[in-house]
Amino acid sequence: MKKLTLVIGLIGSGLVVLAALVSLVWTPFDPSKVSGIRYGSLTWPHILGTDALGMDTASRLMVGAQTTLLVGILAVAIAALIGVPLGVFVGMGHKTLGEILARGSDILYALPALLLAILLASALGSSVTTASIAIGIATIPVFQRMARASTLTVMSQDYILAAQVSGTPTSVIALRHVLPNIAPLLGVQAAASFSMAILAEAGLAYLGLSAPKTVPTWGRMLRDANFLTQPMQAVIPGIAIVIAVMGFNLLGDGVRDYLDPRLQEVR
Amino acid sequence: MPVLRAALRRLTIFVGTVLVASLVIFLIIQALPGDVAQVTLGVGASPDDVDALRQKWGLDRPLIIRYFEWLGGMLHGDFGASYLKGQPVVSQITPRLAVTLWIVGLSIPLSLLVAIPMGLFSAMMRRRWSGALINALSHVGLAMPVFFLGVLLTMVFAVHLGWFPANRYVPITKSVSQWASRMVLPVMTLVLVQGCFLARYVRAGFIDVLGEDYYRTARASGWTKWRGLVRHGMRNMATSLVTVVGLQISSLLVGAVLIEEVFVLPGLGSLLIDAVGSRDLVVVQGVVMLLVFAVLLINFLVDLAYLWIDPRLRRGAA
Amino acid sequence: MSLLDVKDLSVSFGRHRTRVLDHACLSLEPGQRLGFVGASGSGKTVLASAIMGLLPENAHVEGSIVFQGQELTALTDRVFSAIRGRNLSMVFQEPMTALDPTMKVGRQAAELIGLHRETSTMATRQRVEQIFDRVGLDHASRIADAYPHELSGGQRQRVVIAMALMNNPAMVICDEPTTALDATVQAKVLSLLDEELAGVNAACLFISHDLGLVSRICTDVAVIHAGKIVERGSAAQVFMNPQHPYTAGLVATASIDAVEPGTRLPVIEDFFDPRQEQ
């Protein structure tokens, strides 16, 4: 059961990464080239059909994986790079900073990523960057809270006290003892946040708030499809999103179970 | 009265954050690039005309005065008037807000109605295939974008089966039955997705309860597995669920825009996107403030709910 | 016929069937008190949970448990639940977590009546206050309206004991009922248990790691080691003339008074090498 989670997760996320990597060097057709066949059905050579303009769906799907992964990576990087240091500082005992941050992150935590994205897009124009920043900022509190909680756990250990008593500087304790100990948990959180970022990006793309029209994205492919005449053109990118989100989500769950075998036995 | 004191403390924090948030929103909107007068008149307009318009709209006065005017107006329910249409913002927001509130207000309780039995079942049956199946199902639901599910449901129920109309929204004041038939699919979409999401928290909460000593005490007292879990698990599970539901409501207030787009419903989110597109900043400012206020209000209510659910917090220590 | 008859009871856990209780046999007459002694991890609590039918789902149970002529291992949850809390009840080790934090203790105690009998709200409340009073909770009415976090550990354990005695059960299982309490409270709670069990003439399975404690309230003692019952007999007999080397070790470590000043305190390993058992 637990192994199954990990295997499905690996397959799902692996497929997306593979599609993105292959699309860098090869796609069946030029994803932005208009072929003669509009509204093509799912037959050779356009195995996943063509869209209203006659562009090859399979190729666009593969290129779309790039945007999906790029936004996911950027958003998680932003969230982790800001959230983790803040969380560790607060967890190591910056009292006033902690109180201010707690309030700030409460508000941020409650603010929907979509609202941020709409505001950012209206200020800077919609692009992959604004989508990533908006999702990233909205995810900061998740990492901050997680890092704070696990830092507090580490800081209550005796070996930290030993290090403090022996005069080890705080920065050294943070880098040598705290970070390595909370890293596995943060990794699992990153996988979960990654899948949530993919889902959020798909939503933004659907609203036209992510990559510009010229870049294929799964969300926009779904939106542009005419599901009355060509249902498969909406279903295919939709399934791609589900596979990606579920893949990374299960990957995180699977790794967590693997890292924490106690969870398997007790319950 | 420690309960009252704890509640008052939270009220103070709530009012404080609303004020800070209003200032931040005001400043952000002011900092947005693009002069609204310039945009309105078009690129070719003469600088004099632009200045005249700026003066007319009061944009030439100091920021701080405009902020307090805006704040004071809102306290009287006046969110200002749209630059473009000249209409009061309130009259634009109200009908849109009603649509969004209906969607959110219907889907949250219904998704709890789906999530609690689902989570209860998959927690109790987690070692059986039936529990694992429900759990797997909720994983799929968690990964399902609402707009994709919305499209799928439309294809099945509106296009293929023809049970529900897929066209324009009808306000409830015009025809209750027509309104209801148009709300079924959007609400069903949200309920399925939110239900799966919440079911995971419900499941985790109940699994925690199953390992608690007080559950063992309840069993030793003569409760059967299921009834004991409902009786002694529900409140305890709810303590972890309330926060999630609160966050869920806040994210849905804006997130409903996706559902509104799929089903062509004139809600608050689509108003916001339209206003951003046309640079109608007074509307943007009003809608954002309203949303943020709602989010903070929900947070406040969640805090109050905790005082009610968890007697340990009533001492006012927290 | 005995009140409780456990025959060849084996319990194992998980996919690897790790055996934690190995062919345990014991029986209890009505009103009899049996002390069940062993180190932590020896399988004491598993035995108690097995009798109560509260083992986790991944446990495999073999053998038979007959209580009041009924085979417990074959009962459905619904039928078994009707016995729990009425004829067979339990006092747990950890009073701090044994009560539902979101419910007033009076209501929790009242559930024991509501679950097994039909009575009026008034009568139930009266019964709860009466029994709270009996277990030495002053201001029973105020205590009944308190939440668990408002009570001390000793008070909570008294509530738990009151709940266990609520329906005058034929048998009470006590799983280290005083271990989590302060030393002074321990003595009081122990004598309370002693009195109350005698008062309703309930049989008792008293689980502890402390042979000395057990001998103060139990007439008979069984010693468990590594999932096997290695010795059983009357308390005096086990204390005076232990047959199994592990028991001898327990007795020696429990009688610290007998140690000559200046000599080393005995440890169990002086008497018993766990490796020779494997």
Q: Report yes or no: C173 and C208 within 8 Å, Cβ to Cβ.
A: no
Closest approach of B210 to chain C, Cα-based (Å)? 10
Confidence of residue B1 (pLDDT cuts 50, 70, 90): low
CATH number at residue A226: 1.10.3720.10
| Chain B residues close to C54, C-beta within 8 Å | 216, 219-220
pLDDT for B35 beyond 90: no
pLDDT for A113 beyond 60: yes
Q: Which residues 239-258 of chain B have a CB within 8 Å of chain A?
A: 246-247, 250-251, 253-255, 257-258
Q: Is residue A12, in this structure, part of any structural domain at all?
A: yes
Give the span between the Cα atoms of B119 and A74, in whole angstroms.
33
pLDDT for A266 beyond 60: no
Query: In the structure, how many helices (H) and strands (E) does chain A have?
Result: 11, 0
> Which residues, at least 6 apart from A151, have a Cβ–Cβ distance to it below 8 Å?
A87, A88, A90, A91, A92, A178, A182
Specify whether B175 is located in the same domain as B312. yes
Contact A111 B211 (CB under 8 A): no
Confidence of residue A199 (pLDDT cuts 50, 70, 90): very high
Give the span between the Cα atoms of B176 and B162, in whole angstroms.
19
> Which residues, at least 6 apart from A267, have a Cβ–Cβ distance to it below 8 Å?
B126, B207, B210, B211
Could you give the 3-state DSSP secondary structure of residue A111? coil
Assess whether the previous peptide bond of C95 is cis (omega < 30° from 0).
Answer: no
Specify whether B100 is located in the same domain as B12. no
- Percentage helix, strand, coil for chain C under 3-state DSSP, each rounded to 5: 40, 25, 35
Q: Is residue B45, in this structure, part of any structural domain at all?
A: yes
* Residue of chain C with shortest Cα separation from B126: C57
Closest approach of A165 to chain B, Cα-based (Å)? 31
pTM of the complete model = 0.85
Of B221, B310, B312, the CB nearest to C112: B221
Task: Check residue B34 and give its pLDDT.
Answer: 64
What type of residue sits at position B66? R
Chain B adjacent subunits, 3+ CB pairs under 8 A = A, C
Give the span between the Cα atoms of C120 and C114, in whole angstroms.
9
Beta strand spans in A50-199 (E): none
Of B127, B216, B219, the CB nearest to C58: B127
Closest approach of C148 to chain B, Cα-based (Å)? 9
* Residue of chain B with shortest Cα separation from A115: B254
Could you give the 3-state DSSP secondary structure of residue A11? helix
Q: Residue ranges per domain, chain C?
A: 4-241, 242-278
Q: Report yes or no: C169 and C204 within 8 Å, Cβ to Cβ.
A: no
Confidence of residue A242 (pLDDT cuts 50, 70, 90): very high
Instruction: Write out the residue range of the structural domain in which residue A176 sits.
Output: 2-19+56-262
Phi and psi angles of residue C4, each rounded to the nearest 5 degrees, phi first: -130, 130
What single string gives the DSSP state of each residue in A203-226?
HHHHTT-SS-TTS--HHHHHHHS-
Q: Report yes or no: C35 and C231 within 8 Å, Cβ to Cβ.
A: no
Of C83, C97, C163, the CB nearest to B213: C97
Residue C21 forms beta bridges with which residues?
A: C11
| Chain B residues close to C83, C-beta within 8 Å | 222
Give the span between the Cα atoms of B122 and B234, in whole angstroms.
15
Task: Check residue B295 and give its pLDDT.
Answer: 83
Task: Check residue A175 and give its pLDDT.
Answer: 82
pLDDT for A263 beyond 70: no
For B159-178, write each residue's pLDDT tens digit.
888 888 876 788 888 888 88
Q: Is the dihedral of CA B96, B101, B102, B108 positive or negative?
A: positive
What type of residue sits at position C185? V
Specify whether B71 is located in the same domain as B135. no
Contact B145 A227 (CB under 8 A): no
* Residue of chain A with shortest Cα separation from B18: A107
How many CB pairs (< 8 A) connect B and C?
A: 81
pLDDT for B23 beyond 60: yes
Lowest mean per-residue pLDDT among A217-221, A246-250, B243-247, C75-79:
B243-247
- Please compute the mean of the pLDDT values over residues A174-187 and round it to a whole number: 84
Q: Is residue A50, in this structure, part of any structural domain at all?
A: no
- Tokens (6 digits) for B177: 């039955």
Q: Is residue B82, in this structure, part of any structural domain at all?
A: no
Per CATH, the number for C4-241 is: 3.40.50.300
Q: Which helix (H) or strand (E) holds C233?
A: strand C228-234
Could you give the 3-state DSSP secondary structure of residue A156? coil
For A38-97, write each residue's pLDDT tens digit.
666 777 677 777 777 777 888 889 999 999 999 999 999 999 999 998 888 888 876 777
Closest approach of A223 to chain B, Cα-based (Å)? 9
pLDDT for B318 beyond 70: no
> Which residues, at least 6 apart from C34, have a Cβ–Cβ distance to it below 8 Å?
C26, C28, C203, C204, C205, C206, C218, C219, C220, C221, C222
Q: Is residue A30, in this structure, part of any structural domain at all?
A: no
Closest approach of B32 to chain A, Cα-based (Å)? 5
Task: Check residue A160 and give its pLDDT.
Answer: 81
List chain C pLDDT tens, one digit each, 278 residues.
Answer: 689 999 999 999 887 888 889 899 989 999 999 999 888 778 888 999 999 999 988 889 999 999 999 999 989 999 999 999 999 999 988 888 999 998 999 999 999 999 998 888 899 999 999 999 988 888 999 999 999 999 998 899 999 999 999 999 999 999 988 888 888 888 888 888 899 899 888 999 999 888 888 888 899 999 988 888 888 888 888 888 888 888 887 777 777 666 777 777 777 777 776 655 54
| Chain B residues close to C78, C-beta within 8 Å | 224
For chain A, what is the mean pLDDT? Answer: 83
Task: Check residue A125 and give its pLDDT.
Answer: 78
Q: Which residues 142-161 of chain C have a CB within 8 Å of chain B?
A: 147, 149, 160
Specify whether B167 is located in the same domain as B60. no
Task: Check residue A39 and give its pLDDT.
Answer: 67
Give the span between the Cα atoms of A85 and B157, in whole angstroms.
49
DSSP state of B127: T
Residue in B298, B312, B296 with CA at minimum distance from that of residue B19: B296
Contact B207 A242 (CB under 8 A): no
Of B143, B276, B288, the CB nearest to A245: B143
Strand bridging mode C33-37 / C220-225: parallel
- Please compute the mean of the pLDDT values over residues B123-142 and round it to a whole number: 90
* Residue of chain B with shortest Cα separation from A226: B151
Residue in A205, A221, A218 with CA at minimum distance from that of residue A55: A221
| Chain B residues close to C77, C-beta within 8 Å | 224-225
- Tokens (6 digits) for A29: 């057709």
- Between the two ends of chain C, the Cα-to-Cα distance in Å is 36
* Residue of chain B with shortest Cα separation from C90: B220
Task: Check residue C275 and give its pLDDT.
Answer: 59
Q: Is residue A41, in this structure, part of any structural domain at all?
A: no
| Chain A residues close to B296, C-beta within 8 Å | 107, 110
Instruction: Write out the residue range of the structural domain in which residue B312 sits.
Output: 89-316
Contact B132 A1 (CB under 8 A): yes
- Which of B122, B207, B221 to substitute to test the interface with C, most C CBs within 10 Å? B221
Domain boundary among B75, B105, B129: B75
pLDDT for B96 beyond 50: yes
Q: Is residue A60, in this structure, part of any structural domain at all?
A: yes
Contact B213 C94 (CB under 8 A): yes
Domain boundary among B19, B53, B75: B75
- Which of C72, C87, C111 to substitute to test the interface with B, most B CBs within 10 Å? C111
pLDDT for B5 beyond 90: no
What single string gives the DSSP state of each residue in B136-187?
HHHHHHHH--HHHHHHHHIIIIIIIS--S--S----TTT-HHHHHHHHHHHH
Strand bridging mode C70-71 / C59-67: antiparallel
Q: Report how far apart, in Å, the C-alpha atoms of A69 and of each of A241, A253, B28, B139, C55 are.
A: 11, 19, 30, 20, 46
Chain A adjacent subunits, 3+ CB pairs under 8 A = B
| Chain C residues close to B212, C-beta within 8 Å | 97
- In chain C, alpha helices (H): 44-52, 77-83, 105-116, 121-134, 140-144, 153-165, 183-200, 211-217, 235-240, 245-254
CA–chain centroid gap for B168, Å, is 23
pLDDT for B312 beyond 80: no
Specify whether B55 is located in the same domain as B189. no
pLDDT for B25 beyond 90: no
